[in-house]
A = this chain, B = another copy of it.
Amino acid sequence: MAGTDLPVSPLALPLPALPAIAGLRLGTIEAGIRYKGRADLTMLEFAPGTTVAGVFTQNKCPGAPVEWCRAVLPGGTARALVVNAGNANVFTGRAGREATRATAEAAAALVGCRAEEVFLASTGVIGETLPHAKLTAALPALHAGLAPDRWPEAARGIMTTDTFPKAAVRTARIGETAVTIAGIAKGSGMIAPDMATMLSFVATDAAIPAPALQALLAAGTARSFNCVTVDSDTSTSDTLLLFATGQARHPAVPAEGGEILADVARALDAVLMDLALMVARDGEGAQKLIEITVTGAVSDASAHRIAMAIANSPLVKTAIAGEDANWGRIVMAVGKAGEPADRDRLSVAVGGTWMAREGGVVPGYDETPVVAHMKGREVEITVDIGLGEGRARVWTCDLTHGYIDINGSYRS
């Protein structure tokens, strides 16, 4: 079983202290789905009245749990979340759909809610039938052991090839009332579909109507998870869910949200950004975290596409792995993005040192500070397109032998 034996990423961050969220109990258990000797089934139970928002993979071949969540999300309320690791329940046909319904019904019976208030996520191998009888058999003991303080167990219980557990927390104010936002994520890439799909679950004790919650989540995702890539492969299972238990006592939030949520939006963005960057830090084989800033594009969307073309270029990523500030490859990636660009206005900086300006190498360019920067764990690339005001920032990791090792031998 690959994954659990991998060395911890050199870019790992410690797990922060995670406070209890009023209205939330959680826990894990070993259901024996695929892994041995570790918890692989995670459950969160929410107080009545909890609202929910979600965003999901854009892959056209999504897993059965993604389809289940999409179908029940319009209800806007959640009472439970059940997550298994080791089997993605993707490309499993009718058996996959039956597995999601059976799991949701079993959890609903324990919680005392409708099956449509149970959210599901699965991560692991594609194309193998999910042995849902193992899940439903393990659920009663799992449910009996739920407690408010088991965030660390949950962060570990959803891991597959992740090398460290990922969590983030912030506080915010609604009116004069403090609320807490805490979340966990897994993923060693947004991607890596048969083992390391990106999952993230965030909870707050705030009372936020589902439409406002969905708007907050969509905006925050665009700035965080949608700006991270490991290898350009979009998972069939990516799922990000945000739950609001409504236990905090603060002024009522209208359905459309608005200014009253400004501080919550700031804190949520910070939580999502923390989690997204941890995914990049745990990118398969990652030795360096790469931040790519593009300015001067014709629009923000154009800047984003250029930044992602750089972030997904195998040649850029291998050059950084080799600590080679190869700006020629960055120019290539800008050019292949298909966005407006003019070679003779293009400038490239690494670690704040401008190497190329307006179409050519900077006269008298001294490589010394750039070479020193490239030896570090965090590499910054800035590209100015020189055409407009469009800006974007994205993150990725380098492409190393570790990626080949992990992905050339995962399943067997």
Partner-B contacts on A (CB < 8 A): 58-62, 88, 90-95, 125-128, 191-194, 231-236, 312-315, 318-319, 321-322, 324, 326-329, 331-341, 343-344, 346, 356, 358-361, 399-401, 403-404, 407-412
Contacts and interface: CB of A to CB of B under 8 A. Distances in A.
A127 B114 CA distance: 63
B231 A314 contact: yes
Contacts of A403: 314, 318, 404
Contacts of A410: 319, 322, 324, 326
A404 B317 CA distance: 9
Nearest to A230: B314
A195 to B, nearest CB: 9
Nearest to A236: B332
For the complex, would chain A's binding face be called helix, strand, loop or mixed by DSSP majority? loop
Contacts of A336: 58-60, 233-234
A388 to B, nearest CB: 15
Given A356-B91, A408-B324, A59 B335 contact: yes
A79 B236 CA distance: 54
Number of copies: 2
A6 B92 CA distance: 44
Contacts of A400: 404, 408
A337 to B, nearest CB: 7
B407 A328 contact: no
A232 B58 CA distance: 21
B360 A126 contact: no
A404 B409 contact: no
Given A361-B127, A401-B404, A411-B326, A90 B331 contact: yes
Contacts of A412: 322, 324
B408 A404 contact: no
A60 B315 contact: no
A130 B177 CA distance: 66
Contact of A335 (B61, B128, B322): B61
B326 A360 contact: no
Contacts of A232: 232, 312-314
A346 B343 CA distance: 42
A407 B319 contact: yes
26 contacts: A58-B336, A58-B338, A60-B335, A88-B328, A90-B331, A91-B343, A93-B344, A93-B358, A126-B328, A126-B332, A127-B331, A127-B361, A192-B315, A194-B315, A194-B326, A232-B232, A234-B335, A234-B336, A236-B332, A314-B403, A314-B407, A315-B407, A322-B407, A322-B412, A401-B401, A403-B404
A315 B231 contact: yes
B399 A335 contact: no
